[in-house]
Structure 1
């Protein structure tokens, strides 16, 4: 079986490639990176997919970023992700690929809705304004997969991971998500002997983060008979932690101690978006890596990457 992985150099994409290599020796992996194609370009995307000639597409490519990036560039987060998803999903469909896994986002769920969130909560209330552009694009991509499956009998399925972290995350940039940002800030604070770290919001907002290799290992082994899957499934750790907790874990992992200086004037996004992943558990989903253990692995990978450069 030939498996194309889009976004193969990103955090999730590279983890999927690694898991497939370790766990699925029967699979021929066809990575699609920016070097192969600009996925916002329809023709380039179609050429890359045609060259890969996959039996299954794992669509992990996306324009992603943390809260500050989403606030600053909603136009690009909406337009670029709409283009990427339309080109990849429709390109696969037009080439006759009948199996595809689309990776959504917990941002697709309504703001401050009931907890934990279940798949039927999608589109039931307004979205969180700070990442609305990204969320709208991901909802559209997921719906496109649902419509193709229903109309043409394909097995295009949507997985909605919680926030992810791990090796190959974005550190020290506007694109950093919470865990990577916390680890990087703790690293810099230790390096510079800083007496405090600035934290957006009041620290009480809660986030569910799942170690990326837990996701990639499960997908590598479970994505055989997609026709048995429901159209959409949550895959998350099943527990969440406050923003302050993640910063405390980061300081523990880095081995440093300083003040965490809160700034309630800065936005923190949704207060909570814990997901119910019991549907996926019926297909073998588990997330064995706890937050602090995963952050230790992520930080070790970051330090190794810095040494290599």
Structure 2
């Protein structure tokens, strides 16, 4: 099977390549220098040339709260352009299978948890990452519309919970919670900092899956594409508070200082736990516990940045 994977140099893409079963596929993942996803003509020509059996659209501009707040235009426009170009080019060339990656940011910020797939677009979005969410929703709906107009085109979307792991971004300004906190607590330990600040009161809850588990879900999706729902959450089915994640990471890093809370800072949605009823019926589940995942991610951080 020939797979065209966008975003191969990102965390999801690299974990997909590291999965032991991807050797059974022919995976094409052109670098930005070889394929500009913002250039529709280039995207269409490339897809026509390589003629993939399936496309996995994993490319995207991603980041944590700080990055989304500071650059909403880029998070909206860049993700919108990439999603539209890859999906429309795939349809126009005649590729009948496409797997789009959404985000749990697509859900309304006051939606009842766990978040069910049918709740997308049934309420206002979380303001701190609205631009990113709008772009992801647009691409997801575009996939649904194409499949509705012509069922021969099976364009489906996986909506993962928050992800972390090897090849993550550890910069506190651009990274998500777990990698950013790993960096922050490691540096605090190095310089003997006795206090570390947590944005908000720390009671907001998040669901984090290791990217290696999500890569396994992608492999399973490729091999079981026909039984995959048009839009389906991929998650753990449980979550932890921000305070708990800080403590898990402190235990792994060996940081023994104290935590203080800055309630003037935004903390995002109070909870973001996806409903995994469809995933369970599809017969896939994640296997890595949070402590194991954080330990492996910290080992990668030390290997790459120390």
TM range (shorter): over 0.9
Who is 2:244 aligned against? 245
The size of the alignment, in residue pairs, is 305
The residue aligned with 2:11 is 11
**Which residue of the partner structure matches residue 231 of structure 1?**
230
Give the superposition deviation at 1:304.
1.5
Q: Single out whichever of 100-109 and 298-307 deviates more from structure 2.
A: 298-307
Partners of 1:17 and 1:31 within 8 A in 2: no
Per the alignment, residue 41 of structure 1 pairs with 39
> Retained in 1: the 8 A contact 2:172–2:181?
no
Q: Deviations over 1:155-185 (max 9, x none)?
A: 1110000000000100124210001111110
1:53 corresponds in structure 2 to 51
2:89 to 88, 91, 96: 91
The 1-side partners of 2:239 and 2:178 are apart by: 13
| TM-score, length-scaled by structure 1 | 0.95
The CA deviation at 1:53 is: 2.2
Tell me, yes or no, if the aligned pair for 2:178 and 2:245 is still in contact at 8 Å.
Answer: yes
Contact 2:72 2:132 (C-alpha < 8 Å) held by counterparts:
yes
| Distance (Å, rounded) in 2 between the aligned partners of 1:52 and 1:255 | 49
* Aligned residue number for residue 139 of structure 2: 141
1:25 aligns with 2:23: yes
225-234 vs 123-132, which moves further: 225-234
Among candidates 114, 117, 127, match of residue 115 of structure 2: 117
User: Which runs of no fewer than 5 residues in structure 1 stay unpaired?
Assistant: none
Give deviations 1:216-272, integer Å, cap 9, x for gaps: 112213323423322100001111111111111111111121111210000000000
What aligned pairs does 1:1-309 form with structure 2 within 5 A after superposition?
A: 1-19=1-19, 22-153=20-151, 154-306=153-305
TM norm structure 2: 0.96
| Partners of 1:102 and 1:3 in 2: CA distance | 13
RMSD value, Cα: 1.3
Answer yes or no: is the 8 Å Cα contact 1:211–1:294 preserved in 2.
yes
1:184-203 deviation line (CA, Å, top 9, x unaligned): 10111111111111211111
| Contact 1:32-1:48 at 8 Å conserved across structures | no
Which consecutive residues of structure 2, in runs of 5 or more, have no partner in the other structure? none
- Secondary structure of 2:219's partner? helix
SS state at 2:23 partner: coil
Alpha-carbon separation, structure 2, partners of 1:204 and 1:157: 34
Contact 2:107 2:121 survives alignment (8 Å): yes
Work out the CA distance in 2 between the residues paired with 1:194 and 1:88.
Answer: 46
Report if aligned partners of 2:172, 2:184 keep a CA contact under 8 Å in 1: no
Distance 1:165 1:97 in 2: 30
